[in-house]
Amino acid sequence: MTKWSAYVAAGVSALALTILIGCSREGTESTSSPSGGRPRVALIMKARTNPFFERMAAGASQAGEDLGADVLVLDVDKETDTAGQAAKVETAAASGVQVVLIAPADSKAIVAPLLQAQRRGIRIINLDNRIDAEAAEKAGLKIEAFIGPDNVEGARKSTAALIERIGGEGNIAMLEGIRGVDNAESRKRGCTIAVQDTAGKVSIVAMDTAEWATEPAQKKMESILNTRPDIKGVFCANDMMALGAIQAIASAGRTSDVIVTGYDNLEAAKAALRAGTLHATIEQHPDRMGRMGVEAALKLIQGESLPPQIDVPTDLVTAETLAAE
Whether 279 is in a domain gets the answer yes
Give the list of residues 6+ apart from residue 243 with CB closer than 8 angstroms, or none.
214, 217, 262, 266, 268, 269, 272
Whether 175 is in a domain gets the answer yes
Domain of residue 40, residue span: 14-148+286-309
Nearest alpha carbon to residue 243 among 209, 216, 224: 216
Question: pLDDT tens for residues 20-51?
Answer: 333 333 333 332 333 458 999 999 999 999 99
Whether 69 is in a domain gets the answer yes
Are 266 and 241 spatial neighbours (Cβ–Cβ below 8 Å)? no
Give the list of residues 6+ apart from residue 17 with CB closer than 8 angstroms, or none.
8, 34, 35, 40, 95, 96
Mean pLDDT on 85-99: 98
Per DSSP (E only), the strands in 86-238 are 99-102, 123-127, 145-148, 170-176, 202-209, 233-236
Point out which residues pair with 234 in neighbouring strands: 173, 260
Question: pLDDT tens for residues 135-190?
Answer: 999 999 999 999 999 999 999 999 999 999 999 999 999 999 999 999 999 999 99
- Give residue 245's identity as a one-letter amino acid code: A
Shared domain check, 172 and 158: yes
User: Which H, E and C letters describe 164-202, residue by residue?
Assistant: HHCCCCEEEEEEECCCCCHHHHHHHHHHHHHHHCCCCCE
Are 77 and 87 spatial neighbours (Cβ–Cβ below 8 Å)? no
Give the relative orientation of helices 151-165 and 182-196 as an angle to the nearest 10 degrees: 40
Percent over 70 (pLDDT), the chain? 89
Shared domain check, 35 and 138: yes
Shared domain check, 67 and 116: yes
Other Cβ atoms less than 10 A from the Cβ of 317: the count is: 24
Shared domain check, 197 and 82: no
Whether 205 is in a domain gets the answer yes
Mean pLDDT on 264-277: 98
Place 15 in a pLDDT band, splitting at 50, 70 and 90.
very low
Whether 320 is in a domain gets the answer no
Name the domain count of the chain.
2
Are 214 and 177 spatial neighbours (Cβ–Cβ below 8 Å)? no
Rounded distance, CA 235 to CA 210, Å? 12
CATH code for the domain of 90: 3.40.50.2300
Are 249 and 228 spatial neighbours (Cβ–Cβ below 8 Å)? no
Are 22 and 72 spatial neighbours (Cβ–Cβ below 8 Å)? yes
Whether the pLDDT of residue 13 is over 60: the answer is no
Nearest alpha carbon to residue 32 among 47, 16, 18: 18
Shared domain check, 103 and 40: yes
Whether 86 is in a domain gets the answer yes
The values of phi and psi at residue 130, to 5°, are -65, 135
